[in-house]
Amino acid sequence: MALDGIKAKMQQMRIKAEESSAKADELAAKVKTLEQENLAKEQEITSLTHKNSTHEADIEKLEGTNKDLKEQVDRFGHSGSQNEALQRRLQILEEEAEEADKNIRETNDKLRQTDVKAGHYERKVQALESARDQWEEKYEEMSKKYAQVKKELEEFQLEIGNI
């Protein structure tokens, strides 16, 4: 009767050990997935940062051209057709500058959102790693208990055999 109880206990411990091992594997896979997502987000941040700097350079260039055109308009003052052409070009450049500025704002918004998401995923990875470590500890503990109970069972069987 006592032998059946020990066997049942050993079976329960085996099941718990297998469950702990499966859970640890699952958590490790989740950590890997989140790390890959985090890497992708970091790459997106780098891309958006580069795009942002490119847009800023474009704006500076357009603002310089805009300034030059305004100076030319002031110099030529009353030359009718040239003045109109320069005014049209100036208007086009101002529209392009506004569009570039809009692109920069959108890029900055995306960059901020990506930063927030990256932070969220980093925290999630840390939490999953912590949970995985706890499951691994529990698995080690259950393995030790299993080995101890198995040893006790063998000793008990030897005692019964000697009787």
pLDDT tens digits, one per residue of 102-149: 998 999 999 899 989 989 989 998 998 999 999 999 999 999 999 999
Contact between 100 and 58 under an 8 Å Cβ cutoff? The reply is yes
User: Which sign does the torsion angle of CA 145, 151, 154, 155 carry?
Assistant: negative
Kindly list the distances between the CA atom of residue 86 and the CA atoms of 63, 68, 70, 80, in Å, as whole numbers in the listed order: 15, 10, 8, 10
79 phi-psi bin (left φ>0, alpha ψ -120 to 50, beta other)? beta
d(CA 133, CA 122): 16
The confidence score (pLDDT) of residue 73 equals 67
Of 28, 99, 5, nearest in space to 107 by CA = 99
> Are 29 and 88 spatial neighbours (Cβ–Cβ below 8 Å)?
no
The encoded tokens of residue 72 equal 């030319």
Q: How far is CA 94 from CA 22, 62, 83, 133, in A?
A: 62, 8, 16, 58
State residue 109's pLDDT score: 92
| Helices of type H across the chain | 2-76, 80-162
Residue pair 129/70 in contact (Cβ under 8 Å)? The answer is no
CA angle 117, 43, 39 (to 5 degrees): 65
Per-residue pLDDT of the chain (163 residues; tens, 9 = 90+): 678 888 888 889 889 888 888 898 898 899 999 899 989 988 988 988 998 889 888 888 888 888 888 887 677 655 667 778 888 999 998 998 899 899 989 999 998 999 899 899 899 989 989 999 999 999 999 999 999 999 998 898 888 888 7
Nearest-angstrom CA–CA distance, 46 and 101: 19
What is d(CA 82, CA 92) in angstroms, rounded to the nearest whole number? 15
